[in-house]
Amino acid sequence: MVGLTDYSHQSLTDISIDLEEWNNSLEESVKVINKISAELIQNGYWKQVDFDFRSICAYAVKFFDTAKSDIREVIEGIHTEIKEYHFKILIKLATTAQEIFSDAKKVWSSYRDKEYGEANFSKVESIDSEICNMAGDMFDLDNLAHRIKDFIGRKVVDMDNGARVNNIFQGSVTGFQQNLDNSTGIQNIGNSNVDIEELRSIITEIKELLGSVPNEEKDEIVESLNDLEETIESDIPKKSKIKAFGALVLSGLKKLFTLETFAKVETLSTKLPQVTENFEKVLDKIFKN
């Protein structure tokens, strides 16, 4: 599974900014996970946490730390010379992120004795959300990698008619910068209120349509829809999270495109394809703004 962003026409400037954003997000995720787990270790609750969950947590933190170094390596390559191994680094990161996301979902699904509402367990929930959000956000590295591949062998002196590397970051990127939070490097939605309203509307349509779908076939989609709703209702919605959750929703909807599912729910065969297409169009509009 990969993300939604089409990097086929992205400049190296845009790619560099996105990579810096990922590194900022990775650093923040590691801090959050380590802080919460340390609190739970200190009060003794961590010992009660499911062993598989503790294992995926440790693995995810290690991976996120490694990913920061790997992404920094790619950024340095953009500063000097882009090589094939930079492409392979990004592909591997995207693949591992997808595996961690899938494993984390399975571990959480099989987690016994979930103590919803209990203060310490709520912290465990927040760790799970942080892992899944960050891993899902990294799906787009697959698409970015294939754009990087176009520049393999290209040195700094070849870029922008021989301009120095500093010009890569000092050039005009007004469209992108207008939606960039300079203090954090996180790209936000900005003023696309109309598109957000469209997204809210289509989410409602999807939920209504899923009402007749068996729980086992829609649980993951509903969970991703809820995460998407929570993201767009935040004070400053982050495009990176909308991309990640949007990709998960789209993937889930397209898995319903089977004769077996259509046979179970007759209305899906006529409504699902159009609703899915509309959802994808709204997401595309948001990303192009």
Cα–Cα distance between 49 and 60 in angstroms, integer? 16
Higher confidence at residue 44 or residue 168?
Answer: 44
pLDDT of amino acid 288:
65
229 vs 171, more confident: 229
| pLDDT of the residue at 180 | 33
Write the pLDDT tens digit of every residue in 74-130: 998 888 889 888 999 999 999 999 999 999 999 999 998 899 999 999 999 999 999
Q: Give me the chain's average pLDDT, please.
A: 79
Residue 124 has what pLDDT?
96
Q: What percent of the chain has pLDDT over 70?
A: 79
User: Taking 60 as the threshold, does the pLDDT of residue 186 lie above it?
Assistant: no
pLDDT at residue number 111:
93
142-184: pLDDT as tens digits:
989 999 998 898 876 544 444 333 333 333 333 333 333 333 3
pLDDT of residue 238: 72
pLDDT at 144: 92
pLDDT at 167: 36
Please give the residue that has the higher pLDDT: either 219 or 240.
219
Percent of residues, the chain, with pLDDT higher than 90: 37
What are residue 178's phi and psi, to 5 degrees? -60, -25
How high is the pLDDT of residue 135?
94
CA 97 to chain centre: 9
160 vs 25: which has the higher pLDDT: 25
